[in-house]
Amino acid sequence: MKNLDSVFAAYVVGWGVFFVFYLTIAKRISNLRAELDRLKNTLPRAK
Amino acid sequence: MTKRIIFGGVAILLVIAAAYAAFFIAPEERTMGLIQRIFYFHAATAWAGEMTFFVCFVANLLYVWKRQPKYDWLSVSSAEVGLACITVVLITGPIWAHPVWGIWWTWDARLTSTFVLWLLYVSYLLLRTLVEEPDRRAMLSALFGIFAFLDVPLVFFSIRWWRTQHPQPVIMGGSGSGSGLDPTMSKVFFFSVLAMHMLAAFLIVERYILEKMKSELDFLAREVETQ
């Protein structure tokens, strides 16, 4: 099983990049949704 | 929301299935052995990255033509996803290269043009942070995005036009007719390409939703200010 560590590292790091990228998007969407709700409540005609 | 969850679930399942196929279905390559299995992830991610940059390029052209914000949202979304893909390519490539070549990196045409591609799209995203006015930001970044895309064909053809340390093409332009890959390897590779494209498409959709919400927030913030 020569180079198993390298293959494992490539897949884990690669998936990690995509996972972290997705988490940042999900976090930003969650923050924006909260801010949108707050603003909609501020605007009477948007209620 | 449910459609997005299903889409994401399918993309993740395909990526897991592609990894399973790369490890347990594809035959072992004779000279490189186990390390060659990185190829299925590395090359498929590179193809997905180049496709997302193509989407960005088309969106940039459409923005310049029609000046509709939705094309700007699509271009920044696909540029970010493409950048994530090329980051993965630039990480997994050296992990493969070190045991095979004995070096992590060399400045050959393929590696250098890929690194330049990464820098171009980092610059594209940085440029967007420097301009505050939305229409001007969208137009400037669309023009820069069209210019940045010129490097994508250079990356693709670099191993066809020049002799490089990077392996010569085994698919689309390999020696002889058709693919130079074993048929099972070829099937696993194209399945990996499908999986990475699905993942990229899912991430673009999610990132597009974020950009659309940002625009709604800006609109509402202006409404609040005027009251």
**Per-residue tokens: B96:** 């493969």
pLDDT at residue B177 greater than cutoff 70: no
Q: Is B6 on the interface with A (CB under 8 A)?
A: no
* Nearest residue in B to A9, CA atom: B95
Distance in angstroms (rounded) separating the CA atoms of residues A29 and B213? 8
* A-proximal residues of B, 32-51, CB under 8 Å: 33-35, 37-38, 41-42, 45
Query: Is B198 a domain residue?
Result: yes
pLDDT in tens, B68-105: 999 999 999 999 999 999 999 999 999 999 999 999 99
Cβ-defined contact of B207 to A1 (cutoff 8 Å): no
Q: Chain B partners of A47 at a C-beta cutoff of 8 Å?
A: none
List the Cα angle B86/B89/B94 in 5-degree steps.
140
Cβ-defined contact of B220 to A40 (cutoff 8 Å): yes
Determine the pLDDT at residue B155. 94
Distance in angstroms (rounded) separating the CA atoms of residues A41 and B224? 10
pLDDT at residue B173 greater than cutoff 70: no
Distance in angstroms (rounded) separating the CA atoms of residues B90 and B84? 10
pLDDT at residue B132 greater than cutoff 90: no
SS3 B29: strand
Query: Is B40 a domain residue?
Result: yes
pLDDT in tens, B45-62: 999 999 999 999 999 999
Placement of tokens 């992990």 in the chain: B95
Query: Is B226 a domain residue?
Result: no
Distance in angstroms (rounded) separating the CA atoms of residues A29 and A37? 12
**In terms of residue numbers, what domain contains B162?**
2-166+173-219
CB nearest A42 (choices: B34, B88, B224): B224
* Residue B41 to chain A, least CA–CA distance (Å): 7
What Cα–Cα distance (Å) separates residue B185 from each residue in A46, B29, B43, B148?
Answer: 56, 9, 13, 33
CB nearest B217 (choices: A3, A7, A35): A35
Q: Chain A partners of B81 at a C-beta cutoff of 8 Å?
A: 21
Query: Is B225 a domain residue?
Result: no
Query: Is B22 a domain residue?
Result: yes
* Residue A45 to chain B, least CA–CA distance (Å): 10
| Residue B182 one-letter amino acid | D
Query: Is B227 a domain residue?
Result: no
Cβ-defined contact of A9 to B98 (cutoff 8 Å): no
* Residue B169 to chain A, least CA–CA distance (Å): 21
Instruction: Return contacts of B53-59, CB within 8 angstroms, 24+ apart.
Output: B53/B78, B53/B79, B53/B82, B53/B117, B53/B121, B53/B148, B53/B149, B53/B152, B54/B149, B54/B152, B55/B204, B56/B82, B56/B145, B56/B149, B57/B145, B57/B146, B57/B149, B57/B152, B59/B145
Distance in angstroms (rounded) separating the CA atoms of residues B93 and B33? 16
pLDDT in tens, A1-47: 778 899 999 999 999 999 999 999 999 999 999 998 888 887 765 44
Query: Is B38 a domain residue?
Result: yes
* Residue A31 to chain B, least CA–CA distance (Å): 10
Angle between helices B38-66 and B151-161 (to 10 degrees): 140
Q: Is B84 on the interface with A (CB under 8 A)?
A: yes
* Residue B13 to chain A, least CA–CA distance (Å): 13
Q: Chain B partners of A18 at a C-beta cutoff of 8 Å?
A: 84, 88, 199, 203
**Per-residue tokens: B67:** 């000046």
CB nearest B92 (choices: A10, A32, A40): A10
Query: Is B188 a domain residue?
Result: yes
Q: Tell me what ipTM this predicted complex has.
A: 0.90
Domain tally for chain B? 1
Provide CB contacts within 8 A for B93, sequence distance 6+: B42, B111, B114
